[in-house]
Amino acid sequence: MKYLNLILLSFFFISCSMQSSLENEQVQEDELALQPKRSLPDIIEEQYSSSIGILSYQGVLQSMSNLTGVPITNNRVQVVYNDVKDLLAGTNQLNLYTPSVQQGYMKMAAEFCSEMTKSESLIRNIYPSYSTNNLNIENLVDAFVNKFWAGKANQDTKDSAIEDYSVLLEDFKTQGVRSADLAFSACVGSLAALPVMIY
């Protein structure tokens, strides 16, 4: 009898302990159910949101000026900047990189490149052997991509872009497009690309 009571008492404690454990698991499951569901993109953004971002509109203006040598005080640059500033990202969050942001970057790049290609000395700051006679397209594109994408893209990505841009611009050259316009195209294609816009 003594052992029977001990066994029953042990069984009672084990039962209470199991019931308590089950209740705790249920409370944890209920708490998890109350938490908002997170998608994979949300989880990835939380983990990487501070490690990569896009340039804000002020960053774009300064960066494009630094890369091309065209001052931010240039009148035409200022007109375009004021026109597209609201399209550009106001903060550095990568999820703000939308088609309208890309459109704003493209317009800014086009204006900086337009102003830059008016000056052979500015082109030569990027491509020292620039000449309106017998322009080497691959070297031109290589110079722009490597200058503008320095530290922002791996060599395979740069090589692929150089090859693609060169094929396109060689076609333009055979159609009689002027050297300054080819330099403009190489500039815009490189300057408006994502590697320039991220940090």
Q: 80 and 9 in one domain?
A: no
Q: 104 and 191 in one domain?
A: yes
Contacts of 102 (CB under 8 A, 6+ apart): 192
Q: Containing domain of residue 24, as a range?
A: 2-35
Q: 187 and 99 in one domain?
A: yes
Output the pTM of the full model. Answer: 0.71
Residue 198, beta-bridge partner list: 54
pLDDT at residue 11 tops 60: no
pLDDT per position as a tens digit, 90-114: 777 777 778 887 888 899 999 999 9
- Residue 90 vs residues 79, 84, 85, 115, 134: alpha-carbon distances, Å: 18, 12, 9, 25, 43
Q: 98 and 14 in one domain?
A: no
Higher pLDDT pick, 106 / 33: 106
pLDDT at 4: 37
Q: 156 and 115 in one domain?
A: yes
Residue 130 belongs to a domain: yes
Q: 77 and 133 in one domain?
A: yes
Residue 152 belongs to a domain: yes
Q: 96 and 6 in one domain?
A: no
Residue 96 belongs to a domain: yes
Q: 103 and 17 in one domain?
A: no
Q: Please state the φ and ψ torsions of residue 70, each to the nearest 5 degrees.
A: -85, 125
Q: Do the Cβ atoms of 55 and 197 come closer than 8 Å?
A: yes
Query: How many structural domains does the chain have?
Result: 2
Higher pLDDT pick, 35 / 113: 113
CA distance 37 to 54: 27
pLDDT at 189: 93
For the segment 146-157, the average pLDDT, to the nearest whole number, is 92
Q: 174 and 99 in one domain?
A: yes
Residue 52 belongs to a domain: no
The three-state secondary structure class of 100 is helix
Q: Measured on CA atoms in the order 163, 165, 166, 167, is the torsion positive or negative?
A: positive
pLDDT at residue 150 tops 80: yes
